[in-house]
A and B are shown apart, each in its own frame.
Chain A
Amino acid sequence: MEQRKITYAFFSGILECDAGYILEELDQKLSPHGFMVPLDLGAKGSCLIGGNIATCAGGVRLLRYGSMHANVLGLTVILPDEKGTIIKMGNGLRKDNTSIHSHHLFIGSEGQLGVISRCQLLLPPRPTSVNSAFLGIESFEKVTKVLRKAKTELSEILSSFELMDSETLKCLEENDGLKSVLPINPPFAVLIETSGSSKEHDSEKFSTFLESVLESGLAIDGVLAESATEASNFWRLRETAPLSVMKDGYCYKNDISLPLKHFYELTEILRERLGNKVIRVTNYGHVGDGNAHINITSKSFDKDLYKMIYPFLYEWVAEHGGSISAEHGIGRLKRPYLHLGKHPDELLLNQRLKQIFDPRGILNPYKMIDSL
């Protein structure tokens, strides 16, 4: 018997549901009503919305619809006290400044403060016109120029801007036999998606932008998908990248955020530093939000290689104003480096906060926040 509950308010575009719904399940329920869930990620077929909120999941559409902070309007949480107190925080309204927005504390809290049992989500309308283009670009500097141009000229219809460097495309071809879209493998491939409500308007805007990008020499080549099959071929490359790198043997996965000017620097530094001790260093990801997935691969795990990468990589990122875990969370792997780039007083505040919510330290101990 279905015990989970879900209610819709379609005129305001708000969904209220229990935390146990699978993201894709929600999206399928919304589809016939012309709405969609505000995030999209590879694990959508299995991840639960409660988990997406607790981990502040990112995904490929953050550029357009914002992070979970932008889309969660309210949460029902269960506190680890004797009574298992249930509190509703936030009330599903777009605007409510009557108090501190406490529900935001729980977004990305990784289960440290309480258990999320129900949520109120803002729903974007499902776009009826979606277009994808694959561009080949010579330098990272030009990638940043294309990004800026896309934000200005594609404006409200831009929904995704993803990067794959040539090492990533090479890996896809070698390990998965997936041929790239362009006849030559460019140094950088950018996958741009637009989503809107008018096919004519979007096509014209996108074509004008793409022509201009090509004519000005910002891109050396490009393809505009002429059908959903072609678009899904482009996206298959991007979505298979994380799996493809694993086939090299062992993969040192990294999920970092950097100011755009440093985005690609680290990859080149790592290639020089690690030389032929590695099979490859790939960089792909949400360049539109400054989030890079740098994957270093070797035939098998090598302790010496590990020591060459860490903590160097984390320290470099922290020194350059970046985050060592942009969207994947701190978990256990990166736990020893959590303090990098953070003021010790902030960490202390977080510990005191945890104590208020979880005085006995029973929620997810030894993880993100140390008990005092």
Chain B
Amino acid sequence: MRILVGVKRVVDYAVKVRVRADKKSVVTENVQHSMNPFDEIALEEAVKLKEAKHAKEVVAISIGPAKSQEVLRTALAKGADKAIHIEIDAKSAEQVEPLHVARTIAKIAKDEKFDAVFVGKQAIDDDANQTGQLVAGFLDWPQAMFASKIEHENGYLKVTREIDGGLDTVKVKLPAVVSADLRLNEPRYATLPNIMKAKKKPLEKKTPKDLGIDFTPQTEILEVCFLYLYMHLLPSFFFLPSG
């Protein structure tokens, strides 16, 4: 099984975001960024499957501006074998939508004959929760979202999903799309020896034009405003289960 894992560079969840002066976005200049936590979990699951000899290769893919390479390097340090960067210019990057990302991932998954696509259930910046589902739709592959457990048996993935009513277990035939939820696993740290080794792993670069994919925005952000959420509760939500 060869797994394609989608990873996104987002503003680190610990940052107290501020609305940008033009109200079209949040301030991202000089602000800490890192890999979307749910994508970290998706990547960790793929790497664990490889270590358990259920998968042969794990490839990380990210669609974004030049700095997205940072999260791809992290992905390589955490166990991915190769990385693909679909580079968008910084200005257009703000208007990239799940639809564009999904089209891209679907094309790569199809052209390079991957057996599974893993993504985080949602990105913590837009909370869209659409990419995984759209990829499955484009490829006409079965999907198992909000995974909290994945088992591989004979060309199928048995996935336990967290849903409102409790747990739902489904069996999906490969190739399939899975999205990772919080309790799927606890991501490993990138150890220094692995960070050093990662520098030698291949990182391929492409553009949407190379792939012939249309990135025209379908939506327009009218305004971003600040909601007084209970920000101090968010970190505890992301508190990974080792206590």
Contact = CB atoms under 8 A, between A and B. Distances in A.
Contacts of B13: 227-229
B31 to A, nearest CB: 8
18 contacts: A31-B16, A130-B32, A181-B189, A182-B191, A211-B192, A214-B196, A219-B192, A221-B191, A223-B190, A226-B190, A227-B13, A227-B14, A227-B34, A227-B35, A228-B14, A228-B32, A229-B34, A229-B240
A230 interface: yes
Contact of B30 (A128, A179, A221): A128
A221 B193 contact: yes
A289 B33 CA distance: 31
A315 B77 CA distance: 49
Contacts of A223: 189-192
B14 A226 contact: no
Contacts of B31: 128
B175 interface: no
A129 B78 CA distance: 22
For chain A, the bracket of interface size reads: 20 to 34
A221 B14 contact: no
Given A221-B192, A229-B240, 11 more contacts: A129-B32, A133-B192, A178-B242, A178-B243, A182-B191, A221-B193, A225-B189, A226-B35, A226-B189, A227-B34, A229-B14
Interface string B216-243: 0000000000000000000000101011
B143 interface: no
A224 B13 CA distance: 18
B190 A228 contact: no
A32 B18 CA distance: 10
A228 B15 contact: yes
B243 A224 contact: no
B203 interface: no
Contacts of B14: 227-229, 232
Interface of B: 12-16, 18, 30-32, 34-35, 37, 40, 74, 77-78, 189-193, 195-196, 238, 240, 242-243
A177 interface: yes
A210 interface: yes
Contacts of B78: 226
A229 B238 contact: yes
A225 B190 CA distance: 8
A73 to B, nearest CB: 28
Contacts of A139: none
Interface string A195-221: 000010000000100110010000101
Interface string A47-75: 00000000000000000000000000000
B45 to A, nearest CB: 17
Interface of A is mostly: mixed
Contact of B196 (A211, A227, A232): A211
Interface in A233-252: none
Contacts of B190: 223-224, 226
A222 interface: yes
Nearest to A135: B192
A211 B31 CA distance: 25
Interface in A275-324: none
B192 A228 contact: no
A232 B35 CA distance: 15
Given A179-B242, A221-B193, A229 B37 contact: yes
A365 to B, nearest CB: 42
Contact of A214 (B16, B35, B192): B192
